[in-house]
Amino acid sequence: MGKDASLKQERSSAFVVSAHKRKVQKTVRTAGEFLLLLLASCVAIIVLFIFYFVARDAIPFFELRGFREFFTSSEWYPADDPGQFGALAIMYGSLMVTAGSALIAVPMGVSAAICLSDVLPFSVRQYVKPVIEMLAAIPSVAFGFFALVIFAPLLQNQGGPILMWTWWIVVSPFLLLAAIVLSELLTASVEDRTRRRVLHRVLLIVFSLIALIALFVIGRLLQGLQILTGTNALNVSIILSFMALPTIVSVSEDALQAVGRELREGSYALGATRAETIVKTVLPAASSGILAAVILGIMRALGETMVVWMASGNSSHIPEPWFNYLESVRTLTATIAGDMGEADQVTGSARFHVLFAMGLLLLVVSFVSNLVSERIVVRQRKILSGE
């Protein structure tokens, strides 16, 4: 009997922890979890701090100068006495290079993502991914150096021919396709078969000739362009688009992958070609994810500093006419980076705080677009999972 009891005791001490010890363990565990939570919430605290400290130094500017001048005037003479702080032209410059880079990067990025997710076999994809990663990894200052030292002189000296060749190579396939499709669509309603065929041929030749003439005329126009400076909005837009591409490609590829096989197979079963399947079925299903990718890519271009600082020419004016990409511009990021060197001697002046105001503007824009893209991704995930 006694032996039995002692054995029981032994067993319980081996497997069951005493109440006191359990209590201690529990407290330690809760405390540990709380500590972990505290460390993890560092991220949120940092975000709050960034907003607080950038805003703290931005508000004095608006107190000193008000809102109107900053947002509506394009007179940027911070060094004058009294200084003029109209940032409209600078904001426009940021908008311009961002829009330009998006125009190049979005079609390229989305079609590359489609190609990666739907066209290329896995074995090829394995080699493409590192290329995209390397493109994303190249430091921005190296891109800036390339833009300033190699690309800008090239654009200045050979800009016309470069633009003409790009125009020919990029646009001629599209115009040819448009001619084929248009002639096909226009003759589709003709009943008689031989007449339709003849009409089709004639229209095809006519449209191709029109396309050729358009190509030639605009090509000549581009070739004759005088590019006064290689450090202009076009240069920066091109370089920025290649920096935004990796983001757009990888995020929209994820979105395309998230669209299930069933949708694709359903479309194939109805006799659609791969292009039709992608354009009419997969892209609409993945559209919100791709939109999120585009927003992220655009934010990358808008927030980029070194390339625009080195290669945009840094001249604060609205180009004439407004879409002239061959003129120098100045952007928010480049202004912050460039003017701080002169301004930080006089902490407390409008000249110092205006840079924080610009930083705050960038911060708010990036925050909002991040939230929007995040909402979009969450919504898409919900829709696709069928909730």
Partner 1 sequence: MNLGTRKILDRSFTALGIGSIVIMGMTLLIVLVPIVGKGVGAAFFKGTIEHRKMLFNEFGRGDKAKLNEEIIRADSYRRKAFQMLAGFEAELGRMDPDKQLEYRERYDQVRRSLRPLLGPLPGDEPPALTRFQYGQARWDKAEEKLHDFLYETRWDYSNPNAMAKEYFVTRAAGFEGTSLVRLFPYVEEHLDRMLLPEFTFYWGFITDRSVDAHIFGGIWPEIQGTFFLAVGAMLFAFPLGVIAAVYFTEYAKEGFLTSILRSANSTLAGVPSIVFGLFGLAFFINTLKVSESKSVLAGSLTLAIMILPTIIRAAEEAILAVPRTYREASLSLGSTKWNTIVTVILPAALPGILTGGVISLGRAAGETAPIIFTAAVSVGSAIGLADVFSSPTPALSWNIYNLASEHEAASEIRHVQYGMVLALVSIVLLLNLSAIILRARISKKLKG
Is 113:253 a contact under the CB 8 Å cutoff? yes
Q: At what angle do helices 152-187 and 233-258 cross, to 10 degrees?
A: 50
**121 preceded by cis ω (within 30°)?**
no
Single-letter residue type at 58: A
- Which of 27, 273 has the CB closer to partner 1? 273
CB of 348 to partner 1, least distance (A): 11
CB of 252 to partner 1, least distance (A): 12
Taking the C-alpha atoms of residue 300 and residue 66, their distance in angstroms, rounded to an integer, is 29
- Which of 217, 378 has the CB closer to partner 1? 378
- Which of 64, 72 has the CB closer to partner 1? 64
The SS3 assignment for 42 reads helix
CB of 4 to partner 1, least distance (A): 25
- Which of 10, 133 has the CB closer to partner 1? 133
Taking the C-alpha atoms of residue 374 and residue 381, their distance in angstroms, rounded to an integer, is 11
H helices of the chain, in order, are 2-15, 19-40, 42-65, 68-72, 88-114, 122-137, 140-145, 152-187, 193-223, 233-258, 261-269, 274-277, 283-303, 306-311, 332-343, 350-384
CB of 180 to partner 1, least distance (A): 6
Quote the Cα angle for 246-247-248, to 5°: 95
Taking the C-alpha atoms of residue 3 and residue 364, their distance in angstroms, rounded to an integer, is 75
- Which of 13, 273 has the CB closer to partner 1? 273
Within 8 A by CB and 6+ apart from 320, the residues are 327
CB of 383 to partner 1, least distance (A): 19
CB of 323 to partner 1, least distance (A): 23
Taking the C-alpha atoms of residue 267 and residue 278, their distance in angstroms, rounded to an integer, is 9
- Which of 65, 277 has the CB closer to partner 1? 277
- Which of 20, 68 has the CB closer to partner 1? 20
- Which of 228, 346 has the CB closer to partner 1? 228
CB of 384 to partner 1, least distance (A): 19
CB atoms closer than 10 angstroms to residue 230: 23
Quote the Cα angle for 98-99-100, to 5°: 90
Q: How far is CA 12 from CA 3, 6, 18, 131, 283, in A?
A: 14, 10, 9, 61, 63
Is 159:225 a contact under the CB 8 Å cutoff? yes
CB of 379 to partner 1, least distance (A): 14
CB of 31 to partner 1, least distance (A): 12
- Which of 5, 269 has the CB closer to partner 1? 269
